[in-house]
Structure 1
Amino acid sequence: MARGGKDNSQIPKGRIRRTAKVAGLAGGQTARNYATKATNLTRGEEARHAAMTRRQAEAAEQILEVLGNMKGAAMKVGQVASFIDTGAFPEEFQERIQEKLAELRDSAPRVAFQDMRKVIESELGNSLKEVFAEFDEDAVAAASIGQVYRARLHDGRDVAVKVQYPGVAQAVRSDLQNLGLLMRVAKKIAPGMDSKAMTKEIRERITDELDYEQEAQAQRAFGRAWRGHPFVVVPGVITPLTRERVLVTEWAEGIGFEEVRE
């Protein structure tokens, strides 16, 4: 798991604030597109095409940046859209956009450890020192619902500790009321996306992701199904330390999506 990402302690939670952020993206991109089209009236065909593709690439970068900071279902929309082929963008933008897409998958802006620590200790009912012999305060991965830390139990086992962002459940509920607007924004970075199917999937699945005990059950089932496989490894769940907002599993090394794709 790759480290990285900026620190981001404040996740907007209420519907008004989150709607304003997404609406600002949608409106801002529309205004810029009109400005580009107006300027294009004085350009040749090739220059017009180049200007519009550059505008699309710049818009994609901005959208991915904002969705990454919002977390919740807004970021989940960006994550799903992130599995697109950047070949449609100008060559000079492809590397930058790929970096933004990769950040959405596992290196999004982090929430400060002091805020995440409160969630861990509240869920487990003990201080970190009582539960863990060692705890690395730098998150190794961050995504739409929570982020992951590496720690060591008092019995010597290395574990991954997945912690839900404080307030993210409220953020998700707000986003579910704004999915139509979110899809309009997502279409700007993934024009070929099936927004109807994506909306249905997010509505049905994302609230389940807020319950880490339910995720733990699914992980145990996967572990049983893949037991003994020569290269597929499913980390075991540390059940006594798993709660609704904290999931503790065995630590396992792996490779990222970009490495698999290459």
Structure 2
Amino acid sequence: MSTPRLLGLPRDVWPRILAPLMMGMILLGAWEFAVRHFGVPAYVVPGPVLIGQALVADWPSLAAALVVTLRITVLALLVAVTAGVLLALLFSQSKWVEMTFLPYAVILQVTPIVAIAPLIIIWVDNVQAALLICAWIVAFFPIVSNTTIGLNSTDRNLVDLFRLYGATRWQTLLQLRLPAAMPFFLAGLRISGGLSLIGAIVAEFVAGAGGASSGLAYRILEAGYQLQIPRMFAALALISLAGVVIFLSLSLLSHLLLRRWHESAMSPDR
């Protein structure tokens, strides 16, 4: 028996939407009550109402900074996907290539971006290009790691079956290995989406570049210098909201690509 649907969504989806929203409203209400009840100064911790007012009042500058940060984030994610998938394909075709280059990808991942971002900004004359490189470094490893695992996790019996029927190496890759690796790649993509935003923010903090092309990180620094704490929290709220939207968008993409054939995305009633 099919599950009843509301507004085209399965019934079990609504608790996942409404429960976090209700908890968020409760937390915001408790936050506002606490700062008012205990008389916490706005320059220490502003309440949600003041943060909302600052968001509305400073929306033009914050929105422009959000666009700058999101542009770097999206570009870094696209570069990470392209480079990560291509490198994972090379790894899956040659164990020698994987053993040679994968340790360097690991070194790139475990090196703190805060430590190498100043060097990148010094070496690269273009600030935007330097920010893009920093964000790409953070987002790159989950793509290449998860995609490599997915390509290497293909069912050996199916690989032998393809070989038995005379499939070429490229036919096996395109028709078997890549579809089998798709859930792993999409899982890495969801992780890299958030990491690319983190990398862009960290790089902006290190660069400290102002002007019309500055992102949300600089707006936070600027608000801190001017003791405009509600504005600082408003910029931070936009960063958090952008991260949530990126994760939900990539989760929706994953669901749409996998819902008809992979168990992780299929509805329980199917």
TM-score (norm 1): 0.32
Q: Which has the larger radius of gyration?
A: 2
TM-score (norm 2): 0.32
Q: Which has the higher helix share?
A: 2
Q: Which has the higher strand share?
A: 1
